[in-house]
Structure 1
Amino acid sequence: MSDKRQSLDMTPPARRKGGLAILAVIVLVVAAAGYFLLRDGGSGIPPVGQTGPSGQMRQAVPDREAPAGQGALPSANGSRSGAEGSAAVSAGQAAGTGQAAPGGMMAGDSAGDSAGAGMEPDAVAVPPVSEDSVIGPDFIDDTARWLVEGYYPRGTYPTALNEGVVVRDVKMLNTHVGVGMPGIRWQGDDIRKAREAVLAYVLSPAMVRGLYDLYSGQFMTAVERHADGLMRERRGREVNLSAAEKKEMYAIYSRLIRGLAAIAENVLDMPDAGGRVQGCLQARRATLDANAAFAEALHTYQMLVEQNAPYAEVQQALKDKDAAGKAFQQAIVERERKIAALAAELRRPGVSRALDDEGAVYVAMWIARRLETGAGVEPALREAVDVLRDVAQEFERRSR
């Protein structure tokens, strides 16, 4: 029954024009997978000292949970290695310039200032960083491809009657990224632990901005390349997107990304967001329980009828079935009421309605889970909101 409940709960919402694919962009920003995207786990990050061919970012960005002056990082077994993390502070930090080093490595921290005392600014060379050792370029390319493939111009999809549509949603992205983690480097056999380790690695303000600064150009280039190669069927033959259709795709994603940023910011600003989300989750669980009770009552009634059970037993089973059915209907109404109320608050006047009710609450649930993991997560999520707006602006520029 638990598998059945999970499948019921994960049924995608009715799709509205435009879809919900903007979550792929926050995956670019926070570079992780989950529901959105990363849900449970522990280890899986390559150990400190082991990087990709040229990626140095993982060693250079202090962990958000480390005590002041330490740079603890996730190790292969999920523990924190403060000494190694501190030793890996970037050369930009050591120089004490107060500027951001390549790949999001922040310079001018207190530890870096003391370490660089008396040193000339050019005493230590900072090697260029072309890729991160955990979030690889393949992840960026795969995300761009996934986004582009979700766009259908007018006349190429059943719901694209008068204008183009995006047919991706956040739950589809959960499956795509969360199962295979394409382009994300991790070790071990437990993907749940790997997902949590990746998320813990990414969710700091410096890392969110650093990954964006490192990969934003590559991402937009990949989007353009995949859009150039996208084929859609018209009148029995495959054709490329026109220039106008490409601009429409960028315009749709710009609106969706801005809408996601607005929803995420409202969740972070809502004092009782966690409680409101819990209320929705409880209502959802109550609906699943009521559904299970109704299914059991229906099965009992049908079995008694087939077995020609005594009339009184059949009648009692019929009453139980009807009562369970009414309770199920009431649970659905209460679930939808709570979801609609929270969504209305998240999409209050002045906020984009790019996401439907289910999508807005989906975002709120993911953020609420992330906030439960530690106080240092909120600054990273607020940085992600700023990055989302930067991405939206770039998509809007290309739509003109």
Structure 2
Amino acid sequence: MKERQTALILIGCAILLAVGSYLLLSDSSEETPVNTAAIKQSVAEPKKQPVQAPDWVNEGQKVAPDYTPATAAPVDTTPPPAVKPAKKQPQTIEISEDAVVTFSFVESLADYVLHRFVPSNLNGKPATLVSAVSLNKHFGRELDGFTVSENDIRASRKAVLDYAFTPTMLKTLYSLYSEGFVVLLTDTAATDERQYIEGKTQTMRTLTNAEIAVMLRLNSRRIERMATVFRAMGQNKSLTEMAGKYLRAAKAVERANGQMQVALADEKNTKQAGARLKSAILQRQQVKEELLLQLKKVCSSCPEAELFYLSQWAYRRVLNTPDSKLKTFTVAADILDDLAKKFVTKAKELE
């Protein structure tokens, strides 16, 4: 009986579920379709705004500084010191040294040349004060670089000249020292500070390469002038003979002057003594003018004082042995010409 009731209940539930499902499906199929066109609305075009540059263009970029250290260690921001150019090192060459005319003579000669170079005179131009007169006086008084044993300066000077002023010895000394002299002169000028005249003032400094080149060229001309005079004296014996004639005329003036002093003291024969003195002075002057006239033909650019001094110096060299010494002047001229060429060659390297 119970089983039958249960079956009936289940059948009733199934019928109810079927009827409910049918009703639900019927309602969804009869629903009015949605009109999509009706819900569309007109869309207004957005208003165009003028194109503007970003704010940072007009106001600039503003970046907040960051003070946070990259590391905890302090950083040295001092700029490194400027690198100075390496100082020119003097050139080293090996030189054999003569026993009498030592290398100290070459050092003294280089110092003499540099001491008499003027980078800028009162006219703003470079000049050299080197001359045959100052050169002879410089070494004649001090004998720098010469090995001598005599205490008498005159005897020592004669001993050096007798030793060095011969054709063979001049060639030997030049072969020993010429290259070293040019190197020493240019290196010393570039590395050693000294007082140089610049207008009305003096400056402690070294010379530039351009100034060294100018110095070499100026002195090369002086050397060439001396070579010209020496060659003329070696080839023309009459020049030294005229120099001797002047010295004899000068001695005559000294004698006439002495006689004049005696006459004045004795108060007699003063007229005759005065006439002799006047005649002797005129004779001396005529000889000097004739000598300078001949020397000027040899070197027109040479100062008369230098020409006259060289003529007297040359006469003293040939006084006792004129023939052999005249050849020495010719050799000296060749050496001086070669030295002048070395100066010019070195100047071209520095320019």
Deviations 1:302-323 (CA, angstroms, capped at 9, x unpaired): xxxxxxxxxxx8xx99x869x8
Q: CA deviation at 1:393?
A: 0.9
Q: CA deviation at 1:338?
A: 2.4
Q: Relative to 1, partners in 2 of residues 1:391 and 1:297: Cα closer, same or farther, differing over 3 Å?
A: farther
Letter of the 2:326 counterpart: E
Give the TM-score normalised by the residue count of structure 2.
0.60
Letter of the 1:345 counterpart: Q
Q: CA deviation at 1:262?
A: 0.8
Q: Relative to 1, partners in 2 of residues 1:293 and 1:269: Cα closer, same or farther, differing over 3 Å?
A: same
Give ranges in structure 2 of 5+ residues lacking alignment. Answer: 1-93
Q: CA deviation at 1:260?
A: 0.8
Name the CA distance, whole Å, in 2 between partners of 1:392 and 1:164: 18
Deviations 1:242-266 (CA, angstroms, capped at 9, x unpaired): 4443333222211111111111111
- Contact residue 220 and residue 341 of structure 2 kept, 8 A: yes
Partner of 1:132: 98
Partner of 1:206: 168
Partner of 1:340: 289
Secondary structure of 2:300's aligned partner:
coil
Partner of 1:181: 143
Secondary structure of 2:302's aligned partner:
coil
Partner of 2:177: 215
- Contact residue 223 and residue 340 of structure 2 kept, 8 A: yes
Name the CA distance, whole Å, in 2 between partners of 1:263 and 1:239: 36
Partner of 1:150: 116
- Contact residue 280 and residue 338 of structure 1 kept, 8 A: yes
2:152 to 185, 190, 195: 190
Aligned residues: 250
Name the CA distance, whole Å, in 2 between partners of 1:294 and 1:162: 51
Secondary structure of 2:196's aligned partner:
strand
Give the TM-score normalised by the residue count of structure 1.
0.53
2:329 to 381, 388, 393: 381
1:246 to 190, 198, 212: 212
Is 1:353 aligned with 2:300? Answer: yes
Is 1:261 aligned with 2:243? Answer: no
Partner of 2:107: 141
Name the CA distance, whole Å, in 2 between partners of 1:131 and 1:199: 18
Q: CA deviation at 1:163?
A: 2.9
Larger relative contact order, structure 1 or 2 (CA cutoff 8 Å, min sep 6) = 1
Greater helix proportion: 2
Name the CA distance, whole Å, in 1 between partners of 2:194 and 2:185: 10
- Contact residue 140 and residue 219 of structure 1 kept, 8 A: yes
Name the CA distance, whole Å, in 1 between partners of 2:160 and 2:228: 25
- Contact residue 153 and residue 165 of structure 1 kept, 8 A: yes
Is 1:398 aligned with 2:312? Answer: no
Query: Rg larger in 1 or in 2?
Result: 2
Give ranges in structure 1 of 5+ residues lacking alignment. Answer: 1-127, 302-312
Q: Relative to 1, partners in 2 of residues 1:242 and 1:344: Cα closer, same or farther, differing over 3 Å?
A: farther
**1:223-302 map, 5 Å:** 223-228=185-190, 229-234=193-198, 236=201, 238-240=203-205, 241-289=207-255
Q: CA deviation at 1:191?
A: 3.6
Secondary structure of 1:232's aligned partner:
strand
Q: CA deviation at 1:345?
A: 1.4
